[in-house]
Amino acid sequence: MHVVKKLIVSGVAATLGLALSAARAANPDALWDIVNGQCVPAARGAPVTQPCAEVDLAGGYAVLKDIVGVAQYLLIPTARVSGIESPELLAADAPNYWRDAWKARRYVDDALRRPLPRDRVSLAINSASGRTQNQLHIHIDCLAADVAEALHEAGPGIGAEWTPLPMRLRGHRYRAMRIDDADLSHTDPFRLLAATLAREGRAMGDQTLLLAGAFRRDGAPAFYLLNDQVGFGDWASSEELQDHTCGLADRSIEKP
């Protein structure tokens, strides 16, 4: 497979999608205003229109259809949480927003009118520098086809510890690890990354994470967790690895 060529070509589409997203985000508090000003009040019975697809007051999150993409949804805390750098995410009683976002992938399926295999679904959170909104939000959407192919090729070399991927994705050098927790019942990617960064002396705010559904070679469900950080010419926005047109939904990926 000519993965490198595909990465370069599809990068143009991803860049356009991110540009549109940035343009709509002239107000960096737009998501917070929607969730706090409309979604939560509507869920509590206020006479206002409910723009969210789901509001879980006990779980502390809302799910909102993004205006970009055919099936992209966002999981957004109902409490004020700025982003990946927020210390609240590492508190002992912090919700596992990644687990909730993975469950919310059903909205992507509903929008596409068919269930996607787990290795075609991804969750992404951008760095403080690479985002347009100052309320934490996890992008729930299709994984870009070329990225899926690259991960299938690299899969045998991805283990339980961080390792650099052998190829660049969107021109950026990601590292990856495998998570053998099928529904994230016992795993919070924020905590995994924070423990690593504490040893490395790096800042959470400079990081981006992408969680891609995967299968181990024995067929057991798993995840690949990808990480990149802010650097020269790199805003650390792993949303770039998603496909907001969901072209992968109509393609098959050869298993390794």
Domain residue spans of the chain: 3-250
Interacting residues of 102 by C-beta distance below 8 A, sequence separation 6+: 123, 183, 184, 211
Per-residue pLDDT at 146: 96
Structure tokens at 176: 């990856």
Give the number of other Cβ atoms within 10 Å of residue 115's Cβ: 14
Contact between residue 119 and residue 211 where contact means Cβ atoms under 8 Å apart: no
pLDDT at 129: 96
pLDDT at 253: 47
Q: Which helix (H) or strand (E) holds 23?
A: helix 3-24
Q: Mean pLDDT per segment of 10 residues, for the chain of length 256 residues?
A: 36 38 71 98 98 98 98 98 98 97 98 96 98 98 97 97 97 98 98 98 98 96 98 96 86 47
pLDDT at 249: 63
Cα of first residue to Cα of last residue in the chain, in angstroms, is 12
94 CB-side CA count, 13 A: 20
How many helices (H) and strands (E) are present in the chain, helices listed first? 7, 9
The pLDDT assigned to 215 comes to: 97
What's the chain's length in residues? 256
Q: Which class is domain 3-250?
A: alpha beta
